[in-house]
């Protein structure tokens, strides 16, 4: 009797590259302007290292977090952390599906591209509000600075210290903040563009 040959099929764990080439093509299609906008929003609201995740998801849909981690050579915990932080900012969305074989839930991620222009505007407005707030303070107060430049404070606070530097005891001088004002005005003008 012929013995059945034991051909053990060694299933190599396939390196998951779901349409990597395809996505590469799509990825290169997006304009530098768009890439820059994505970068700015993600850097501002999440983290520099999250940018690659968003760029990676362009042109893809329902990518499992394991695939993201694998393709970007990232630890799964790290990838998950960044993915959820992107989700909190509405930059990504996900669906959860139970894996039939493993029995656990896996999240599948999508890039919510429409959020970027909206978030860009929101960031700009917040920055603008901060700068205008600072400009108002700078315009409405006199500032005092230590000769050795240890401290700088407004009139009210300087008075509390009898105009003596709390760091070195040196007398503080009134500081001409014309250059600061100029700088702030310039920044505001730039943002308003």
> Which residues of the chain form contacts with Zn ion (CB under 5 A)?
146, 148, 150, 165, 167-168, 170
Output the smallest distance, CB 149 to Zn ion, in A.
Answer: 7
Please, what is the minimum distance in Å from the beta carbon of residue 190 to Zn ion?
Answer: 33
Which C-beta is closer to Zn ion: that of 80 or that of 152? 152
* Sign of the alpha-carbon torsion through 48, 52, 53, 59: positive
Q: Are the C-beta atoms of 91 and 115 separated by less than 8 Å?
A: yes
Which is nearer to Zn ion, 128 or 150 (by Cβ)?
150
Indicate the SS3 state at residue 148.
coil
CB 143 within 8 A of CB 177: yes
Of 119 and 165, the one with the shorter C-beta distance to Zn ion is 165
Please choose, from the candidates 78, 22, 23, 16, the residue with its C-alpha nearest in 3D space to the C-alpha of residue 55: 23
Q: Which of 166, 169, 172, 143 is nearest to 156 (CA)?
A: 143
- Shortest Cβ 142–Zn ion spacing (Å): 18
Minimum CB–partner distance for residue 54 and Zn ion (Å): 46
Instruction: Indicate the residue among 78 and 147 with the shorter CB distance to Zn ion.
Output: 147
Q: Tell me the closest approach of the beta carbon of residue 192 to Zn ion, in angstroms.
A: 37
Task: Choose between 53 and 172: whose C-beta lies nearer to Zn ion.
Answer: 172
Rounded distance between C-alpha atoms, residue 115 and residue 150, angstroms: 43
Please choose, from the candidates 89, 17, 19, 22, the residue with its C-alpha nearest in 3D space to the C-alpha of residue 54.
89
Question: What's the rounded Cα separation, in Å, for the pair 120 and 166?
Answer: 41
């Amino acid at each position: 009797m012929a013995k059945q040959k034991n051909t053990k099929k060694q299933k190599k764990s396939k390196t998951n590259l779901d349409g990597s080439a395809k996505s590469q093509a799509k990825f290169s299609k997006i304009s530098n302007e768009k890439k820059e906008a994505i970068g700015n929003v993600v850097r501002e609201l999440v983290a520099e290292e999250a940018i690659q995740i968003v760029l990676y998801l362009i042109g893809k849909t329902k990518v499992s977090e394991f695939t993201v981690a694998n393709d970007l050579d990232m630890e799964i915990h790290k990838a998950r952390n960044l993915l959820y932080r992107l989700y909190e900012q509405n930059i990504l969305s996900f669906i959860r599906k139970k894996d039939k074989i493993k029995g656990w839930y896996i999240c599948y991620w999508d890039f919510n591209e429409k959020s970027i222009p909206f978030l860009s505007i929101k960031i700009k407005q917040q920055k603008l509000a901060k700068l205008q707030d600072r400009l108002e303070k700078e315009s409405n107060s006199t500032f005092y600075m230590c000769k050795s430049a240890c401290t700088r404070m407004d009139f009210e606070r300087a008075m509390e210290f009898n105009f003596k530097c709390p760091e070195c005891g040196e007398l503080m001088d009134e500081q001409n903040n014309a250059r600061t004002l100029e700088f702030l005005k310039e920044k505001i003008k730039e943002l308003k563009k």
